[in-house]
Amino acid sequence: MSSKRLGFFLLLAPLVLWLGLLIILPHIDMAIVSLRTRVAPREYAPSLDNYAAFVTEPLYLFTFLRTAVMSILVTVITLIIAFPISYYIAKIAKGRSQAALFLMCLVPFWVSELVRTFGWIILLRETGVISGFLQWLGLADQPVEMLYNDAAMMLGLVYTSMLFMVVPLTTTLESLDDAVIEAGYDLGGTGPSVLREIVIPHAMPGIVSGCIVVFMLSLGNYLTPTMLGGKDSLWFTQLIYSQFIVRFNWELGAAFGFCLLFASSVIVWATLRLTGQTLERTMGEGS
Amino acid sequence: MTADLTSDLECRALTRHFGDVVAVQGVDFSVAAGSFFSILGPSGCGKTTIMRMIAGFLEPTSGDIRIKGRSVLGVPPNKRPVNMVFQHLALFPMMNVAENIGYGLRRQGVAKAEIIRRTGEVLERINLPGIGTRKVSELSGGQRQRVAIARCMVLQPDVLLLDEPLGALDLKLREKMKVELKALQAEFDTTFVYITHDQGEALVMSDAVAVMNAGRFEQVGAARDLYYRPETAFVAGFVGEANRWRGRVEAVDGTLAEVRSESGLLIRTQGQNLRPGDRVEIFVRPEAIAINLDAKTAAASPNQMAVQVSALLFNGANSRVLVRDPQSGAEIDVALPQSAEFSNLAKGAQVHISWGREQALCFADATL
């Protein structure tokens, strides 16, 4: 074997090991675990019982759908908030302020997600900053609890995801020549029409790539729903956790995991088809 | 400058400041309907600022812009009857050629069938019929250029602004596009305002050229006037090539004068209001200098000297000879005639050069 080929395989080795050991192997094992059922202690038989349980048990299915729908909602809200921010950073801010704004988006990510989420708890809890402020203003006559509901959870998820939307959006918007926007106005375009016909079509790869990342992160998030969500805001990852850790029912947990993987794949595929983008293009242009 | 009814575009005392910097200072001009007007100047002279003010992307600090006699101050770019061809053309990459051309019509709310008809028509006129469905990235540089012009012309603007659109093209194509642009302007019969730092582009295409420097117009006129009768030292130095000497007037006789350059060269010239002791700048174009192999034919000229060839710069029809005056050591740039007589001219050869008084352009030295 020539040294050139050896070099090629050595370079490829980390990737193959990473994919093989951390992604493919565990998934194969999970797939096997999910497709069996315990008939007696330490005795298993192949069956589809776990998937049947997922489909027939309303709580599981409901939580699953709720998680998917809310993740889509988080993605949409993040996009709506991040787009003007990215546009400002990429097109309006100049020089130092541009760098400073970008850094401000990045700074919260220097601390762990746990600490960031705890920041929201400090703000939103009954004895927290906002509650106190409202009482001080006289707008509330008793402590207000703003935690442990869907709104608080969404807030946390949007906050956590923001950077992953801002980065690809800013990158694609920066690549849009200012003269193209000016040409849009020069030829008779108005603000909304330039946005619709020129800016958004150009930013589409960034929008889709940001949306995919944010959606995946929200769908697979465990910490934020646990800390900020209430007893009614059950997240699908919490179900998986409880099956694995609380119930020791690895078979059902593995089946749930696969359902989640399947759902996210379908939704991402559908988004790409719907927007006419390819995975190659969005990932190439995004962050 | 008087308001005249045939002018499509008129600027009066146009001034623009950026903070403390004055980018454009009291510029006045009017462009006759259907003419090709160029603003020529070095980069940073303020020509792009003027263009952006006409297009509406910048508001002037003071002064007025009138298009077909109506002031457009305060009118946003999308409402002005001018369109602009951008430096890098700024075609919309997300649209095909027909969508690019139809964009402005769609914005005006023109009916679909009408848009298709007019887009087809304008593509005929730019000699690119049937490319409507092509992507912008599939076009050649020259085709893009024409599509960018068509995208504006389909809207039938009163004035078309062109911001150095040939800058990004290679030399051969640029030469070809110069001729083509002039032909397109005649075809559409619209007023073109063209800005460039390339004098070749400005001189070849324009009916009138404004030479701009440091925020002001130095001279406005036909290409020929700028070349043969420059009014300022800047125009003489910027338009065309020139040998340039700084010196002091030694003797004056009416309009005739003798100037001694800093290197010691004596130049006989002519000019108004010159007094002995004045500091002046002298410009002599390389092609205005006659070159002879022997002194006899050159004898009649007021400026003549025997010189030695110090370098030959061969460039086809634009070939030059650098000659050195043995007394002053001054180097003079002379155009090489394309005759057989000089085909064997070699470095070190003795030649005679001469030029007339009227060919030595004399200006008061502005740098003092």
Which chain A residues are within 8 Å of B87, Cβ to Cβ? 179
Q: What is the reported pTM?
A: 0.79
- Out of A19-28, B7-16, B165-174, least confident range: B165-174
Which chain A residues are within 8 Å of B79, Cβ to Cβ? 188
Q: Give me the CATH number covering residue A188.
A: 1.10.3720.10
Domain enclosing residue A70, as ranges = 58-285
Instruction: Identify the closest residue of chain A to B153 by CA–CA distance.
Output: A187
| Single-letter amino acid code for the residue at A81 | I
Residue A20 lies inside a defined structural domain of this protein: no
- Range A34-58 burial, b when 16+ CB lie within 10 A, else e: bbbbeeeeeeeeeeebbbebbeeee
Higher pLDDT, B108 or B366: B108
Task: Please state, rounded to an integer, the average pLDDT across all residues of chain B.
Answer: 87
What confidence tens digit (pLDDT) does each residue in A196-241 have?
A: 999 999 999 999 999 999 999 999 999 999 888 877 788 888 989 9
Which chain A residues are within 8 Å of B122, Cβ to Cβ? none
Identify the band that residue A284 occupies on the pLDDT scale cut at 50, 70 and 90: low
ipTM over 0.85: no
What confidence tens digit (pLDDT) does each residue in B140-192 have?
A: 888 898 899 899 999 989 999 999 888 777 888 888 888 888 888 888 889 99
- Tell me how far apart the alpha carbons of residues B72 and B324 are, in angstroms, rounded to a whole number: 56
Residue B30, phi then psi, degrees to nearest 5: -135, 145
Residue A1 lies inside a defined structural domain of this protein: no
Largest CA distance in chain B: 77
Which of the residue ranges A74-83, A107-116, A191-200 has the most confident prediction, judged by mean pLDDT?
Answer: A74-83
The answer to whether the beta carbons of residues B29 and B13 sit under 8 Å apart is no
Beta-carbon contacts below 8 Å between A and B? 61
Which chain A residues are within 8 Å of B76, Cβ to Cβ? 185
Q: What is the pLDDT of residue B278?
A: 84
Q: Are residues A186 and B55, on separate chains, in Cβ contact within 8 Å?
A: yes
Count, residues in chain B: 368
Is residue B213 pLDDT above 80, yes or no? Answer: yes
Q: What is the pLDDT of residue B296?
A: 67
Mean pLDDT of B203-211: 91
Our count of domains for chain A comes to 1
Q: What is the pLDDT of residue B292?
A: 83
Mean pLDDT of A65-81: 94
Q: Which two tokens stand for residue B295?
A: 């002194």
Is residue B260 pLDDT above 80, yes or no? Answer: yes
| Single-letter amino acid code for the residue at B121 | E
Residue A31 lies inside a defined structural domain of this protein: no
CA angle B201–B202–B207, rounded 5-degree value: 130
Q: Are residues B88 and A198, on separate chains, in Cβ contact within 8 Å?
A: no
What confidence tens digit (pLDDT) does each residue in B107-133 have?
A: 999 999 999 999 999 998 888 888 888
- Tally of helices (H runs) and strands (E runs) in chain B: 8, 20
Complete domains list, chain B, with CATH? 7-236 (3.40.50.300), 243-364 (2.40.50.140)
Q: What is the pLDDT of residue A181?
A: 92
Nearest-CA distance B63 → chain A (Å): 22
Q: What is the pLDDT of residue B5?
A: 55
Residue A165 lies inside a defined structural domain of this protein: yes
Nearest-CA distance B106 → chain A (Å): 9
Instruction: Identify the closest residue of chain A to B92 by CA–CA distance.
Output: A180
Mean pLDDT of B273-300: 81
Which member of A177, A179, A188 has the closest CB to residue B107? A188
Mean pLDDT of B31-38: 91
Is residue B3 pLDDT above 50, yes or no? Answer: no
- Tell me how far apart the alpha carbons of residues A7 and A220 are, in angstroms, rounded to a whole number: 37
Which member of B56, B86, B94 has the closest CB to residue A183? B86
Residue A25 lies inside a defined structural domain of this protein: no
Which member of B90, B108, B155 has the closest CB to residue A183? B90
Q: What is the pLDDT of residue B100?
A: 92
Is residue B306 pLDDT above 90, yes or no? Answer: no
- Tell me how far apart the alpha carbons of residues A133 and A238 are, in angstroms, rounded to a whole number: 33
Nearest-CA distance A174 → chain B (Å): 15
Whether chain B has a CB inside 8 Å of the CB on A202: the answer is yes
Residue A43 lies inside a defined structural domain of this protein: no
Which member of B78, B92, B155 has the closest CB to residue A198? B92
| Chain B residues with at least one Cβ partner in A under 8 Å | 55-57, 76-79, 83-84, 86-88, 90-95, 103-104, 107-108, 151-152, 155
Q: What is the pLDDT of residue A277?
A: 77
Mean pLDDT of A155-174: 92
Tell me what percent of the residues of chain A surpass a pLDDT of 70: 98
Which member of A185, A201, A202 has the closest CB to residue B77? A185
Which chain B residues are within 8 Å of A184, Cβ to Cβ? 92, 103
Q: What is the pLDDT of residue A286?
A: 42
Tell me what percent of the residues of chain B surpass a pLDDT of 70: 96
Which member of A177, A180, A189 has the closest CB to residue B107? A189
Which chain A residues are within 8 Å of B55, Cβ to Cβ? 182, 186
- Tell me how far apart the alpha carbons of residues A254 and A262 are, in angstroms, rounded to a whole number: 12
Identify the band that residue B1 occupies on the pLDDT scale cut at 50, 70 and 90: very low
Residue A122 lies inside a defined structural domain of this protein: yes
Task: Please state, rounded to an integer, the average pLDDT across all residues of chain A.
Answer: 88
- Tell me how far apart the alpha carbons of residues B40 and B222 are, in angstroms, rounded to a whole number: 12
Residue whose token pair is 């359902």 = A259
- Tell me how far apart the alpha carbons of residues B160 and B171 are, in angstroms, rounded to a whole number: 24
Residue A50 lies inside a defined structural domain of this protein: no
DSSP strands (E only) in B164-265:
191-196, 208-213, 216-221, 243-253, 256-261
